[in-house]
């Protein structure tokens, strides 16, 4: 695995054009996300530069554009607000430390090759979480969109203050916000292909505010520091260390999911295959540098990536070009952003929030699966009104429990206690004859498929239904693996049969399953000659033992 990404120069024009175009798309979004997060517009710009440059350099998806995204911004907003509330002096520095820690966790995920597991999350949970983040982003833009400062209390505070916000609306700023949304929504597709609507809205909104509303009181971005940012020294608070680590894991995980989902989109457009673990390492390095520079956390951005590919980019050179273009803007043209109205940025961010909403699944989730729909809406509600981590945790837990229940119900039919040939199980003619000779005194306990913990109930049910007998054959021929809970349930079956004096036979257990049962001490109850590979031989031995017992009797 090479350390840096593959940078090729055989498509110089396409990569440079793609990078410049992606930079134009990124600029208004970076400003909007910086303002929305509470870090400030410069934080959004440096997040776009740092994450974009280093993720392109060290990542595993050549055409991926990385920058602050809506989901990452929402989580960062919560982190910034929470840490500043508990520690006003160092809260912001601690928030940037969380960004660095998130990057560190992403590198760890990549080193331990966890990329393929990151997205193994039920779609209903991902959909509910992403839609919840979209709702949060929309709600948080209501106050600046209407020309007022954000109320205290985050999402709940804003929702409760909506009547007051509407009563005290600032008409000029609300008009600017409306113009922004109108341009983004109504711009013809032909023009969208030439210039991004967000940039047009940014320019038009600013020009209108400086001409038509030149005498109105309008809140603007204001002065942006020119030059390289001061380094943010990692700052910890003993009382907040646990919260910081939890937030960092959450931020890192979200960045991984956001990035890898976008990488899949890039693969489908370029007919290539990204390297998940390498991409996570690149994202982690980018977020560490972004935190050091006082920038927002970032991830793979779908809009920027698609624009980059559609304008001809094929290598990581496009991502590097985009970051350098934005750096030139920050170092040389930052003063041009000073008059941008906050309401215009709120309109841009509000549209991003609406785009994050999973409209496709929201409209038809109830038709696809009622349980999936309930999980999705439950996660959405918890994300918006409770906590992001709680939402994902509860959603994954409930979804997995329902999945395990469904799998267990399907696999339960493969746990069968057989005493005669009338049972619905595939037996050879010889095996059927031997069972008939057993006259119900020889029991065949058949299991097949992976023995997950959900099947312990089915094993116990068959165990409780066990009739009086002289021999028990436990057939594990078709069991590739066995969980601890299922193994303990089988242990109860075998020990109960042993205490009742039954002849015990174990058939077809793989080396892996045998090791599990051996650790439970079950081979002490089984003579070596009763551990067999062939079910027919076990049935023959059990029947022979039965006849020997009758003769002796």
- Which position has the higher pLDDT, 455 or 502? 502
Residue 189 has pLDDT above 50, yes or no: yes
* Nearest residue to 134 (alpha-carbon basis) of 292, 298, 297, 356: 356
Give yes or no: residues 348 and 454 share one domain: no
**Predicted local distance difference test score (pLDDT) of residue 272:** 85
Tell whether 268 is covered by a domain: yes
**Predicted local distance difference test score (pLDDT) of residue 1:** 47
* SS3 labels along 273-324: CCCHHHHHHHHHHHHHHHHHCCCCCCEECHHHHHHHHHCCCCCCHHHHHHHH
Tell whether 386 is covered by a domain: no
Tell whether 145 is covered by a domain: yes
Q: Which helix (H) or strand (E) holds 299?
A: strand 299-300
pLDDT (tens digit, 9 = 90+) per residue, 16-41?
A: 988 988 998 888 899 999 988 889 89
- At 6, the pLDDT band (50, 70, 90 cuts) reads low
Most confident of 299-303, 401-405, 411-415, 547-551: 299-303
Tell whether 291 is covered by a domain: yes
pLDDT (tens digit, 9 = 90+) per residue, 195-246?
A: 888 889 999 999 999 999 888 889 888 877 777 788 999 988 888 899 999 9
Looking at residue 470, the DSSP 8-state letter turns out to be S
Give yes or no: residues 331 and 442 share one domain: no
- Measured CA to CA, the distance from residue 353 to residue 29 in angstroms comes to 12
Domain boundary among 303, 327, 355: 355
Domain that holds residue 350: 12-355
- Which position has the higher pLDDT, 488 or 119? 488
**Predicted local distance difference test score (pLDDT) of residue 183:** 94
Give yes or no: residues 336 and 428 share one domain: no
pLDDT (tens digit, 9 = 90+) per residue, 294-329?
A: 999 999 998 889 888 988 888 999 999 999 999 998
Give yes or no: residues 194 and 104 share one domain: yes
Residue 45 has pLDDT above 90, yes or no: yes
Give yes or no: residues 80 and 162 share one domain: yes
Mean pLDDT rounded to a whole number for the chain: 86
**Total domain count, the chain:** 2
**Predicted local distance difference test score (pLDDT) of residue 201:** 92
Contact between residue 147 and residue 409 where contact means Cβ atoms under 8 Å apart: no
Residue 8 has pLDDT above 80, yes or no: no
Give yes or no: residues 337 and 459 share one domain: no
Tell whether 407 is covered by a domain: no
pLDDT above 70 as % of the chain: 93
pTM: 0.76
* Nearest residue to 143 (alpha-carbon basis) of 341, 353, 346: 346
Letter string b/e over residues 250-269, b meaning 16 or more CB atoms within 10 A of that residue's CB: bbbbbbbbbbbbbbebbeee
pLDDT (tens digit, 9 = 90+) per residue, 338-387?
A: 888 999 999 999 998 898 888 888 888 888 788 888 989 999 999 888 87
pLDDT (tens digit, 9 = 90+) per residue, 46-85?
A: 999 999 999 999 999 999 999 999 889 989 999 999 999 8
**Predicted local distance difference test score (pLDDT) of residue 284:** 97
Domain boundary among 313, 335, 355: 355
Domain boundary among 337, 355, 373: 355
CATH number of the structural domain spanning residue 460: 3.30.750.24
Tokens 């991984």 found at: 256
- At 4, the pLDDT band (50, 70, 90 cuts) reads low
Tell whether 183 is covered by a domain: yes
**Predicted local distance difference test score (pLDDT) of residue 178:** 95
pLDDT (tens digit, 9 = 90+) per residue, 418-476?
A: 766 555 557 778 888 888 887 888 888 888 777 766 667 777 777 776 778 888 888 88
């Amino acid at each position: 695995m090479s350390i840096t990404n593959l940078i090729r120069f055989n498509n110089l024009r396409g990569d440079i054009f793609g990078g410049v175009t992606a930079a134009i798309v990124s600029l208004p979004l970076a400003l909007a996300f910086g303002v929305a997060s509470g870090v400030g517009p410069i934080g959004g710009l440096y997040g776009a530069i740092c994450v974009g440059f280093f993720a392109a350099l060290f990542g595993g998806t050549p055409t991926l554009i990385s920058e602050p995204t809506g989901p990452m911004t929402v989580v960062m907003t919560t982190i910034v607000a929470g840490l500043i509330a508990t520690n006003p002096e160092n809260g912001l520095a601690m928030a940037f430390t969380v960004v660095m820690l998130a990057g560190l966790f992403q590198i760890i995920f990549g080193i331990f090759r966890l990329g393929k597991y990151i997205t193994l999350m039920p779609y209903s949970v991902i959909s509910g979480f992403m839609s919840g983040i979209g709702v949060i982003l929309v709600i948080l833009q209501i106050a600046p969109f209407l020309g007022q400062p954000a109320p205290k209390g985050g999402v709940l505070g804003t929702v409760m203050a909506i009547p007051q916000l509407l009563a005290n609306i600032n008409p000029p700023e609300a008009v600017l916000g409306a113009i922004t949304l109108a341009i983004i929504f109504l711009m013809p597709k032909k023009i969208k292909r030439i210039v991004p609507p967000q940039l047009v809205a940014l320019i038009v909104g600013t020009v209108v505010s400086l001409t038509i509303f030149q005498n109105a009181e309008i809140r603007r971005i204001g002065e942006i520091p020119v030059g390289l940012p001061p380094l943010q020294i990692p700052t910890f608070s003993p009382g907040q260390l646990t919260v910081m680590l939890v937030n960092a894991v959450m931020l890192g995980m979200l960045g991984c999911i956001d990035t890898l989902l976008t990488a899949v989109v890039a693969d489908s457009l370029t007919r290539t295959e990204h390297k998940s673990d390498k991409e996570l390492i690149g994202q982690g390095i980018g977020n560490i540098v972004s935190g050091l520079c006082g920038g927002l956390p970032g991830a793979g951005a779908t809009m920027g990536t698609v624009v980059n590919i559609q304008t001809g980019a094929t290598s990581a050179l496009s991502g590097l070009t985009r970051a350098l273009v934005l750096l030139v803007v920050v170092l040389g043209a930052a003063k041009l952003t000073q008059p941008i109205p906050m309401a215009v940025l709120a309109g841009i961010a509000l549209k991003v929030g609406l785009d994050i909403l999973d409209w496709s699944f929201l409209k038809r989730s109830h038709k696809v699966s009622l349980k999936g729909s309930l999980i999705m809406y439950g996660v959405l509600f918890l994300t918006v009104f409770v906590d992001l981590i709680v939402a994902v945790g509860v959603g994954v837990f409930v979804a997995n429990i329902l999945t395990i229940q469904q799998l267990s119900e399907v696999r339960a039919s493969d746990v069968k206690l057989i005493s005669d040939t009338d049972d619905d199980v595939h037996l050879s003619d010889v095996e059927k004859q031997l069972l008939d000779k057993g006259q119900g005194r020889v029991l065949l306990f058949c299991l097949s498929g992976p023995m997950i913990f959900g099947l312990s109930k089915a094993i116990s049910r068959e165990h409780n239904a066990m009739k009086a007998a002289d021999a028990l054959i436990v057939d594990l021929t078709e069991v590739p693996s066995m969980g601890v809970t299922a193994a303990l349930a089988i242990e109860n079956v075998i020990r109960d049969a042993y205490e009742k004096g039954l002849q015990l036979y174990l058939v077809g257990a793989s080396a892996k399953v045998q090791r599990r049962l051996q650790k439970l001490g079950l081979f002490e109850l089984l003579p070596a000659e009763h551990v067999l590979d062939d079910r027919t031989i076990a049935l023959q031995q059990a029947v022979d033992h039965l006849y020997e017992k009758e003769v002796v009797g």
